[in-house]
Structure 1
Amino acid sequence: MSKVSVDNTISMVLDKRRKKKNGKYPVKLRVFTSTPRKQKLYPTRFEFSEEEFSSIWETVRPRSTYKQTRKMLQAIEQNAWSVANELEPFDFELFEKKLFRKRRDGTNVSYLYGERIKELRSMDKINTANNYGLALKSFARFSESEKKKIEELSLFEVNTNWLNRYEHYMVEQGKSLTTVSIYIRTLKTIFNKAIEEKEIESGYFPFGKGKYIVPKVSNKKKALTKEQLKQLFEARPKSPQEEKAKDFWFFSFACNGINIKDILLLKNKDMDDDKITFYRAKTISTSKGNLKKITVYLNEFAKEIIHKYRSKSLAPNDLVFSVLEGEENPVKQHTKIKNFTRFINQHIRKICEEHDLPIISTYWARHSFATTVIRKGGSMEFVQESLGHSSMNTTKAYFAGFDDNTKKDFADQIMNFG
């Protein structure tokens, strides 16, 4: 029996709960913790009779014919002991993750991305999981350009020089620094997780001062001016598809910049006579301890859109709009939301092209709402609450600044002391 700590033990045991047809019992690796009091048995490839197990494992000096078998059992126990001793505090889930993988998987880039993608999908974070998949494919293409398979790439090789070469490669391929930043940030997360799980020392972390700096790209402000909003609102769609796209774009704008996913997940029970209340789907899994319910008061336009497109069922748990069925698995739901968002974007762009407006997307509705509120005198705190942001810095990024007319009006009024 090998001690992991005062409270935890690891040992090889004969599991005598059920005898096999050959009269033998399976040998299990037993891990026990006293706080909390918990035991788990892990299978091995060995099976013995009680007499064999006693002669091989429980005796101090096994016969020469059993010595090799005893060494193999000791190796299993010692490996488990080594893994467990890395964990402080001990955690069964992490112990199993480390125990049942290849020795080098803990720092293998391809393996770690695969595990992260599975983890994200299990939490229904399909879009984020897809981003990790795209990042890994990008790193794979770069590795191939350097005559190395991505399956062989280790975190130890991803140093400052490697990251600089990757950035240069991406720029030469015509990719934007924004794309580079998105992909490398996933790698930064992979490193942090590996350090947290003691797979790699923090000294190998290749980011930060004096090392590789992830490109910071200022986002283009995605907000329409008051005049542009008026022009788009008054534009006459040329097809039912353009009409529907325009309706949902302005519904998003009118309802605190609510994003399309949250629109499609609205349930009848979220509706009141003059308001809707909901939690952002994006924050449900990331801010469980600080969930903020968003309340949107409905103007006449928003009420008209609901009446126009509302599904027939008014059951409390049924969806307001029938784009989703409400029973899809996360992957299918993600695909449907993405397709509907693409539908809006395609047709709203046709209207914009027809009226010489900026080429916009659904995301512009959210930014335009934030900017319009502030330009009309609303506070940044009001916008933060309306958008459901936990950080004021996030809210500030949505504000496109004051337009020239606002600045001119302010200059004209600054000396008016009346």
Structure 2
Amino acid sequence: MKATIEVVCYKSKVLANNESPLMLRITKDRKLKYSSIGISVNPAHWDFEKNKPRRNCPDKARIEQIISEQIRKYREQILDFQAEDKEFTSTSLYDRVNNQIKRRTVSDLFKSHIANLKAQKRTGYALTFSELYNSLILLHGHLDIHFSDIDVTWLRHYEAWLRFKGSAENTIGKRFRTLRAVFNLAIEQGIVKAEYYPFKIYKVSKLHQTPAKRAISKEDIMKVINYQCTDPYDRLAVDLFTFGYFMGGINFGDMASLKSENIVDGRLVYIRRKTHKLIRLPLQPKALEIIERYHTNGALFLFPILSDFHKTEQQQRNRLHKVLSNVNKRLKRIGKELEIPIDLTTYVSRHSYATVLKRSGVSTSIISESLGHSSEKVTQYYLDSFENNQIDEAMKNLL
């Protein structure tokens, strides 16, 4: 139902000067909202059929001007709602015109979004937004600005500053993709109009850099899996790499959180922390052998990474960071010893799992599901370097 805006004389209320207040009346979906426009007239000077002052009304021109301005503001806001394809009520229309809903600043949205992500236990994703927020604070000193202030010039200034600071291309790309996500969230929440969206002109895609190769061949994978070591920490590093490879490229944080209840009817069943997707994979013999090597009765987790000592989320994050750094340090040394062409990390295990499956003819959609990715687009990012190599090799056969 269309909204109607009109000014009426509220004759049922008589003021001390024997005049009645003029009220702006909003009608939407059969619901009425009244608001005083701050002036009053004698009912004898008001035309109740046409809802306007009579010719003999004192100060008629000024009253008509005020009425016209009030109605104009509301009609413009209705057009804005329609342009945004946004439903509204008589109350929300009134609130928007009269700024009853405080315009949220860039800082406001950042803080609330980060808090929401932390409440959802998406601490890694929250960290991405926190890093961007801190970076912008370092440049500007504050973010008590509105999203409409973020234009192409503002973005170019931020990019120039990041380059001056020596930030890597991938870091700059990550910062701007995150900033774009925040701006999209602001549009979604009605904080800023879509017409202010600066990323139609400022293209974040130009900041994309081809990712460094993170996958190794099956032959090199087997070198790592069969690596002979006596040091227990080297053994743990190799075993975690191996477990990740055989069990769907499981992320290190998810691996560290595995418990006995995650093994159900010969399958590894867990919810990926980053995307909240349910993963159910057949437990491979080699992976089961590794679990049996480390798990002890009474232990809270399958692997000796976390323990019941690490109770708070921050304690767990600190422990994961410490162990992962040590594991990757040992994997890199082992990789150099085995003459692996790239630095070896637990992430290489995940990428290699995806690449080996792709080379075996497995569809991207199935690989995406097993990795627990949010979309096939993310999986394709994993496989891009492999696909390019395939094309390069194939084109050698043209002659």
Partner of 1:323: 305
Which whole-Å deviations, capped at 9, do the CAs of 1:260-317 have from their partners, x for residues lacking one?
Answer: 1221222322214632122222222xxxxxx5x3222233321111011113238xxx
In the alignment, structure 1 residue 119 sits paired with structure 2 residue 116: yes
Native 8 Å contact 1:245 1:347 kept in 2: yes
Give the direction of change, closer, same or farther, for the CA distance of 1:257–1:7 in structure 2 (3 Å limit). Answer: farther
- How many percent of aligned residue pairs carry the same amino acid? 25
Moved more, 403-412 or 260-269: 403-412
Give the Cα–Cα distance (whole angstroms) in 1 for the partners of residues 377 and 232 of structure 2: 39
Alignment of 1:73-222 (within 5 A): 88=87, 103=102, 106-107=104-105, 109-143=106-140, 149-208=141-200, 210-214=201-205, 215-222=207-214
> 1:311 — aligned with what?
296
Q: Do the aligned residues in 2 keep the contact of 1:225 with 1:403 (CA within 8 Å)?
A: no
Instruction: Work out the CA distance in 1 between the residues paired with 2:374 and 2:132.
Output: 27
Gaps of 5+ in 1: 12-81, 144-148, 285-290
Distance of aligned partners of 1:110 and 1:355 in 2 relative to their CA distance in 1, 3 Å threshold: same
**One-letter amino acid matched to 2:238:** K
1:276 maps to: 268
Q: Is the counterpart of residue 401 in structure 1 residue 398 in structure 2?
A: no
SS across alignment from 1:294:
strand
Structure 2 distance, partners of 1:8, 1:354, is 78
Q: Deviations over 1:162-206 (max 9, x none)?
A: 111221221232212211121122222222222233222222111
Contact 1:276 1:295 in 2 (8 A): yes
C-alpha RMSD of matched pairs (Å): 3.9
Consecutive aligned runs of 4 or more in structure 1 exceeding 6 Å deviation: 1-5, 8-11, 99-102, 402-412
Which SS does the other structure have where 1:328 is aligned? coil
The match for 1:350 among 318, 322, 333 is: 333
Is the contact between residue 252 and residue 346 of structure 2 (CA under 8 Å) also seen in structure 1? yes
TM superposition shift of 1:366: 0.9
Are the equivalent residues in 2 in contact too, given 1:249–1:362 (CA < 8 A)? yes
Q: Which amino acid aligns with 1:265?
A: S
Partner of 1:35: none
The letter of the residue matching 2:321 is K
Once the two structures are TM-superposed, the CA of residue 89 in structure 1 deviates from its matched residue by 5.4
CA change 1:88–1:236 in 2 (3 A) is same
On the 8 A contact 1:311/1:322 being kept in 2, the answer is: no
Q: Distance in 2 between matches of 1:404 and 1:151?
A: 44
User: Which residue in the other structure is 2:9 paired with?
Assistant: none
What is the alpha-carbon distance in structure 2 between the residues aligned to residue 403 and residue 158 of structure 1?
A: 37
- Whether the aligned pair in 1 keeps the contact of 2:246 and 2:353 (CA below 8 Å) is yes
Cα shift readout 1:91-141 (whole Å, capped 9, x = no counterpart) = x9xxx9xx999955x13x333222222222121111122111211222123
Deviation at 1:153, TM superposition (A): 4.1
Is the 8 Å Cα contact of residues 249 and 344 (structure 1) preserved in structure 2?
A: no
TM-score normalised per structure 1: 0.65
Choose 1 or 2 for highest CA Rg. Answer: 2
1:373 pairs with 2:357: yes
Report the equivalent of 2:252: 260
- 2:395 and 2:162 mapped to 1: Cα distance? 44
Moved more, 163-172 or 371-380: 371-380
Cα deviation for residue 407 of structure 1 reads 8.9
Tell me if 1:298 matches 2:283.
Answer: yes
**Which blocks of at least 5 consecutive residues in structure 2 are unaligned?**
1-22, 36-76
How far 1:394 moved relative to its partner?
2.2
Residue 364 in 1 paired to residue 348 in 2? yes
2:322 corresponds to 1:339 = yes
Structure 1 distance, partners of 2:100, 2:307, is 39
CA distance in structure 2 between the aligned counterparts of 1:160 and 1:402, rounded to whole angstroms: 34
Q: Is the 8 A contact 1:140 1:150 kept in 2?
A: yes
Are the structure 2 counterparts of residues 205 and 383 from structure 1 closer, same or farther at C-alpha, using a change threshold of 3 Å? same
- CA shift for structure 1 position 363: 1.3
Count of matched residue pairs: 318
Of 266-275 and 118-127, deviating more is 266-275
Residue identity opposite 2:213 in structure 1: K
Distance 2:158 2:249 in 1: 36
